[in-house]
Structure 1
């Protein structure tokens, strides 16, 4: 980090940080990767945080992380990246929208990340790097931020991107007409509430100072602010295209990214074409074709990969060992900042009773589910925050398998042996073999304590999401993957009482206060303490069953090269870096 003295008040200029850690075999921890010293903090705080970061990194090394090349392939000499070709990538469902300000699902993130750019971005180690902003500075109190934009960046319609576009795009996330489900990303911007409520026609805290300079003023410090600016939800859009297309922009997006939108046939495919004028360089690929598999049917994805109709695929759990032993494909593994869970709707009986929610947690053996269904591929969740996430607490008090305690809690709630308890419904939009095994496992465990669980399937993600938003599901199968490496991105959107993605309908004023305090706290150690306290309170209230922390494991054709996966998962793979190697003819070697 480079400090620069400026007139008026002292500022910090953030430059690219290249950190070389001694644990080069395990470059895993986003805490380690994105550790930044805030000016004015005592050096001892930084030293303590460095120690904590290294501790997290060492513990994370226990998980597999790396690349396995196909076995039996001839040794290859380095080759220059070849231009051209179509990359066919599976997508487990249709996105709800491709409008950055409105996206809520990972399917949209995977596509939108290729069409749009944000002010900053994350590298493979989750360092924050320049993107559309080539440099930025902050006042010592963390309230005034100035971003200097790259010049000459063009939208896909040919117009240059300037500061006014940044102001429009960020303000749009807060606009009352847009009703973005991610408006809370910018709720610390000065004047955000008045703008959202319509009492102000402009957003006071975001201004175009010059043609290529944007100033953002916060109402109070917000620790993960620069991380938030790297999210695809804050992708920069051209105002004239949104005004021209209206709601149609969600299905015909225009950005500055490495690929431009071509077409979207729902239930079939989304096609993108290389941006010839991308500010970094033209992508090696000519096209990306997202092939849609409604219901996220992994077996069908792998079958298409095996027929050479896709360039990548997840691994079907039921055939995992056989596929890995074959050595036919390149395998990439990466522990990610994600969690899979079963959520309870606390507004619907019987989950308005804490004893029932706790009973479900004690009745289900999550370790056994991971071992039998997923071949120990993932990390069994003790709490909410995943390993490698700042604030992760390996000592959190979690639930263990105890069916007798589950029965006692049900009796305490007035349901001895499940009496007077109507069948409960589990909703899911995923139709893979693993999801059915999950359901069958839950059904059997709950039957042992006298509770009957029924499955309700949804045909696609948008329909399922609508049911979640309307609060129609008693139990829902759900996954959450970090958008940025900060505990705020887990606990706040999932469990803050006013969050639009709090599908649990969870409300705890003390948790709200702790999360609010943590967002404005700039001392890392105090932030960790606040988040850990909030996490324990949430777990005690049992708004869901925390199953496991996701490890990404993907199969790729041997000729695919340049794939980089961060702890944010496969949705954030920068496709512009990928190229397709020439396939050698039979009997030849490189």
Structure 2
């Protein structure tokens, strides 16, 4: 059985400084064995856990006056794709609350019942049978049945589907034929009865459970807008999502807030806190918002001792630290003329002092990263070494690639300067990274041009291939979560920035066709070695997450795999009055 299923990140915020430092550049090993277990801690003396509020009497009046509302701070606004089949990135903060999936994950990253209270997998690993809980309802009162789950899987197979889920990796029988237009239905998806869904696959896959057991949307609501081969009308409902999650969508004030209301029909019981608000806050003033009681929760992917010290001064908040399965990385545009040569990409890795970056930014809350999987994962390849900072090695590689030092110290080739475009954001992450990057890359003869944009604009330019470097954060439950973006046949990666490596493709397919993690490990090790030899991304750092919750909010204890949304028990989650 697959060890974990896909869930997106918890609420991920960039507030004040980013990333963390470690005692050495090479991450320590893993602790998640094939049978599960707690994630490994980042190699530092910063301990995971919660420091409870020391003086709740200091709680601001602005917070105490909210007796039925929980406000979560976000420093980047979603782009309105409120449909879990279509939306990615920041939209998932909303989608995870409005929708539910057949299968969820527990705090160890293992699959647990959600809308489906049990499932069976045949001995050959090719047939999945899901048994839904009785009397499930969507938030509008309509019944949630196996027909809705089958419809959701069908949409993911649409020929024009361009969302974040690569359902082809589940190998559902007849799925390819439907996607290519050779069939009007998907042979392998069968509704046995209103509470039973059976899915037949053509080959074993470690990804099948999490893909088939994903989010369910109501056919009665979305079906009339669904037209095979044309999702435009279907996407019109993104602004008015309807699901079976903890909360229902109320309204959005663009660039300011998203309001959600408790779902009275939620299958685990109505949440005791009536209103959930995502408030868009300025990164530089996020701590002030928390101190003033204007928000109740915020998390920092750029955790460090400065932030920790400031949070401890807020005696009315509970401060939580946990080792995350996330990492920060620079995306390489391998289609760019200057980065098509892998030696140039490797040179850029050797040429950047990531340890200095991590030391300044994370101050003990992170470590230098090398692979697109966190050290918390059972799949982390501790024996595969990355490119440590070595300016001399970087210069040698650029020389070999034909880029010779020209006028002003900038390298040239065929009359063109070695210039890379970096898509930056007005963030503390870049305030630390950019000076180091400019200094280090100037030293090895690389000219860097910076363009500062907001998050959605960065994504848009990235998808058009109008960049050489851009930074992002990612999390992995299964290693495939990030590896899928390197698969040349992935439908979610635009052609303008698609990475192509036949060996990588082959190893991705092979490593995901096996259910046994111990048998997947050697294939994944070979895969991570090949990605080191021909890098599509430049992993910067692994880190811990610091979060703060107003102490009047009970039942919020963020963790590695569930974040805050997926670990909420609707019965224990409440406001202390």
**TM-score band, normalised by shorter chain:** 0.7 to 0.9
Match of 2:575 among 580, 583, 589: 580
TM-score by length of 2: 0.84
Q: Is the 8 A contact 1:561 1:579 kept in 2?
A: yes
SS of alignment partner, residue 85 of structure 2: helix
Instruction: Answer yes or no: is 1:237 the counterpart of 2:218.
Output: yes
TM-score w.r.t. the length of structure 1 is 0.82
Q: What stretches of structure 2 of length at least 5 have no aligned partner? A: 3-27, 58-65, 226-232
SS of the residue 2:147 aligns to: helix
SS state at 2:47 partner = coil
Inter-CA distance 518–186: structure 2 relative to 1 (3 Å threshold): closer
Map of 2:501 onto structure 1: 508
The corresponding residue for 1:44 is none
C-alpha separation between the residues in 2 aligned to 1:381 and 1:252? Answer: 39
Q: Please point out which of 112, 124, 128 is paired with 1:145.
A: 128
1:545-584 equivalent positions in 2, closer than 5 A: 545-568=538-561, 570=563, 572-575=565-568, 576=570, 578-582=573-577
How far apart, in 2, do the equivalents of 1:58 and 1:372 lie? 20
Identify the residue that residue 180 of structure 1 maps to in structure 2. 163
CA distance in 2, matches of 1:424, 1:59: 32
Counterpart Cα distance in 1 of 2:342 and 2:169 = 33
Check conservation: 2:102, 2:213, Cα contact below 8 A: yes
| 1:109 aligned onto 2:92 | yes
Instruction: Give the equivalent residue in structure 1 for 2:307.
Output: 320
Alignment check: 8 A CA contact 1:269 1:291 kept = yes
Count of aligned residue pairs for this structure pair: 523
Q: Is the Cα contact below 8 Å between 2:170 and 2:212 reproduced in 1?
A: no
- Alignment correspondent of 2:201: 218
- Cα distance change of structure 1 residues 213 and 113 upon mapping to structure 2, 3 Å threshold: same
State the distance in 2 between where 1:564 and 1:219 align. 40
Query: What is the CA deviation profile of residues 303-326 of structure 1, one whole-angstrom value per residue up to 9, with x for unaligned ones?
Result: 211111000123576842541442
Contact 2:98 2:247 (8 Å CA) reproduced: yes
Q: Note the 1:76-475 alignment, pairs <5 A.
A: 85-96=68-79, 97-105=81-89, 107-184=90-167, 187-229=170-212, 231=214, 234-243=215-224, 246-293=234-281, 297-315=282-300, 319-326=306-313, 328=315, 329-417=317-405, 418-420=410-412, 421-428=417-424, 430-461=425-456, 463-475=457-469
Please identify, of 136-145 and 179-188, the stretch whose mean Cα deviation from structure 2 is larger.
Answer: 179-188
On the 8 A contact 1:165/1:237 being kept in 2, the answer is yes
**2:19 matched to which residue of 1?**
none
Unpaired runs of 5+ in structure 1? Answer: 2-11, 13-28, 36-48, 75-82, 583-590
Contact kept in structure 2, 1:155 and 1:238, CA below 8 Å: no
> Are residues 1:481 and 2:475 paired?
yes
Task: Measure how far apart 1:500 and its partner are.
Answer: 4.0
Q: Which deviations, in whole Å up to 9, do the C-alpha atoms of 1:477-528 show, x marking residues without a partner?
A: 111112xx2212222x221112245575321101111110111123322200
Separation of aligned partners in 1, 2:55 and 2:436: 38
CA displacement, residues 32-89 of structure 1 (integer Å, 9 cap, x when unaligned): 77x7xxxxxxxxxxxxx45xx6697588897632111123558xxxxxxxx9511111
Report how far residue 147 of structure 1 moved. 0.9
Confirm whether residue 70 of structure 1 aligns to residue 53 of structure 2: yes
Displacement, 1:237?
2.8
Cα pair distance change 1:381/1:363, threshold 3 Å: same
Q: CA deviation at 1:103?
A: 1.4
After superposition, give the CA deviation of every residue in 1:144-167 in whole Å (9 maximum; x if it has no partner): 111111111111121111111111
CA change 1:168–1:65 in 2 (3 A) is: same
CA distance in 1, matches of 2:342, 2:273: 52
Q: Any idea what the Cα deviations from partners look like across 1:227-285, whole Å, max 9, x if unmatched? A: 33454xx3333333452674331111000111111012221111110011211111011
**What CA distance in whole angstroms lies between the structure 2 residues aligned with 1:360 and 1:185?**
34
Per-residue deviation, 1:204: 1.0
1:110–1:571 contact (8 Å) kept in structure 2: no
In 2, the alpha carbon distance for the partners of 1:61 and 1:130 equals: 35
In the alignment, which residue of structure 2 is the partner of 1:536? 529
In structure 2, how many angstroms separate the alpha carbons of the residues matched to 1:502 and 1:64?
37
Per mean C-alpha deviation after superposition, the further-off stretch among 546-555 and 307-316 is 307-316
The answer to whether the 8 A contact 1:382-1:399 is kept is: yes
| Partner Cα distance (1:422, 1:226) in 2 | 46
Contact 1:301 1:314 in 2 (8 A): no
User: For structure 1, which segment, 91-100 or 193-202, has the greater mean C-alpha deviation from structure 2 after superposition?
Assistant: 91-100
- Does the 8 Å CA contact 1:123/1:566 hold for their aligned counterparts? no
- Deviation (angstroms), 1:192: 1.2
Note closer, same or farther for the CA distance 1:143–1:119 as it changes in structure 2 (3 Å cut): same
Quickly say closer, same or farther: Cα 1:209–1:393, change in 2 above 3 A: same
Give the corresponding residue for 1:20.
none
Contact 2:379 2:524 in 1 (8 A): yes
Could you tell me whether the CA contact under 8 Å between 2:344 and 2:401 is conserved in 1?
yes
Provide the alpha-carbon RMSD of the alignment.
2.9
**1-side partners of 2:239 and 2:164: how far apart?**
18
Greater relative contact order structure (CA < 8 Å, 6+ sep): 2
